[in-house]
A and B are shown apart, each in its own frame.
Chain A
């Protein structure tokens, strides 16, 4: 499948990935090759076949009681954050 630079730029924007110029050219080719390989799926007759979302048939999503089971550990978790102030995650200003 022939992809254009604009296709890669569009996908990288959707995926929130900043790419360097040289990376874009590489992905035009390799994503095209991957989509060609994936194109083999067209030859499978899947008329009337249900899509399979879970590898164990018949298992339904388990639910639990709506109760608080976790304690507040935000100070510990925020030790891994790039920038924290007064218990808040700091990001560039969003609203002027």
Chain B
């Protein structure tokens, strides 16, 4: 690929070019900053573009390389979802509540990627507090899909996905509580990995639903995701649910062939409102795996159909608790002229949070309130156990599960904003992995009406290496992940 414009190259190719001194990190960073600025009016992918600090970090990376102190990601630019705290840089979480919040510290993910020599270009737009499936709940306005600006990019990591899809950045950090990495990756034609719960630290990642939230990555290919995950993953004493397990060599594992792999097609994912054209693309993708020597078998997850109702008890309950910290006192938005302390709390929260965040806080407050706790919250925790057991049973028989990432390709802005339940059903295939805590990824596998379609692979706990290898094998056989949208700026 030597000679290709810098923005057309992925993480691995850029790392190679930097190592070969084909170009400097400063040149690369300047090029991508220009693209981010130029695309902003059309796509609104970013909340902040941090040009000055990016160029300083790039110069420092070039200096480190010249001094012989470079690693595999030294000088590689990326964007961080604006849910990750970044020291000295505004961190909004897509909310008016944090419009003026400058983080005093770095999230562990940010600190690790910084220590690996990556260069932060800016902070990506997102649904407010990661609550949304279309990136329409952001206080900073919707992100648009680079494949068709009338369409949503998916959410909540819509800015991360759009920036990677439009070739504004080779990679982006993202988070996934119910599908927020995989669904936007599917809708914009890029690769998105949600690791196992506890694999990547949640420290400094603004909490939404703590038993479901997981940090991950969006890039163009599984290979690029593997390089970034290696730098992000690992035990962190600052996250009480971080898991102390060694991080495998994901890049080395990519070459593992698919021959002999048993892939389970989730039966229930094909009789729940899946778009027929979407299904056709998926069946073609399954055929690619058969050609690669994998065996496809029919698998049932009998309780997975209850994922969405389970999630919409558990996630709002945890959200109502986590978001109680926003009180207008210590940081964040405060209302004007509070008449007493209660008024300060109520109006700061009422004015600082957007409609969807308030809806989830109230849903959570309702299901946790006296007299309803057993009927809703405990019931949902029991069903979560059933769903999790379905996955465990399936993985006793197959290596990975395969199916759709989302029921349809990207939909129009405004199409699903009036009825929240319609919006929630977008995540019907992705939520199960969060409830069970298992890793999953989405890779591009075709197009319907000139919009990308995603294939989801789900694995057992800590099977990221296997997932990435299976995705990489598919991407060596296909070129969907190389397709880029037309330039619109």
Contact = CB atoms under 8 A, between A and B. Distances in A.
B379 A56 contact: no
Contact of B102 (A53, A79, A82, A94): A79
B30 interface: no
Contacts of A17: 346, 349-350, 353, 358, 361-362
B435 interface: yes
A27 B197 contact: no
Given A44-B303, A80-B331, A91-B341, A73 B104 contact: yes
Interface string B173-205: 000000000000000000000001110000000
Interface residues of A, number: 53
Nearest to A80: B331
Interface in A57-96: 59, 61-62, 64, 73, 76-77, 79-83, 89, 91-94
A6 interface: no
B214 to A, nearest CB: 9
Given A15-B365, A41-B379, A54-B241, A91 B344 contact: yes
Contacts of A56: 196-198, 241, 243, 437, 461
B365 A11 contact: yes
Interface stretch (B273-281, B418-426, B441-449): B418-426
Contacts of A37: 308-309, 312, 421, 424
A44 B361 CA distance: 25
A40 B196 CA distance: 27
A18 B104 contact: no
Interface stretch (B57-65, B115-123, B162-170, B382-390): B382-390
Nearest to B380: A41
Nearest to B316: A34
A11 B362 contact: yes
Given A31-B362, A83-B334, A62 B420 contact: no
Contacts of B339: 92
Given A31-B363, A37-B424, A23 B243 contact: no
Contact of A41 (B309, B341, B345, B435): B309
Given A17-B353, A37-B424, A81 B330 contact: yes
Interface string B216-239: 000000000000000000000100
A18 B346 contact: yes
B385 A35 contact: no
A38 B312 contact: yes
Contacts of A50: 382, 385
Interface in A2-49: 7-8, 11-12, 14-20, 23, 26-27, 30-31, 33-42, 44, 46, 49
A34 B324 CA distance: 21
Given A54-B241, A91-B341, A92-B341, A46 B383 contact: yes
Interface string B311-338: 0110000001000100111111110001
A52 B349 CA distance: 31
B101 interface: yes
B381 interface: yes
B381 A59 contact: no
Nearest to A83: B334
A14 B365 contact: yes
A38 B376 contact: yes
Contacts of A62: 240
A27 to B, nearest CB: 6
A44 B350 contact: no
A41 B385 contact: no
Most buried by A among B309, B358, B378, B435: B309
A33 B435 contact: no
5 contacts: A17-B362, A46-B385, A55-B212, A80-B102, A91-B344
Given A31-B363, A77-B104, 9 more contacts: A19-B358, A40-B309, A41-B309, A50-B382, A51-B381, A55-B212, A55-B437, A79-B102, A92-B344
Q: Which 9 A-B pairs have the closest CB atoms?
A: A55-B437, A51-B381, A18-B350, A82-B334, A46-B382, A80-B331, A18-B346, A52-B385, A15-B365
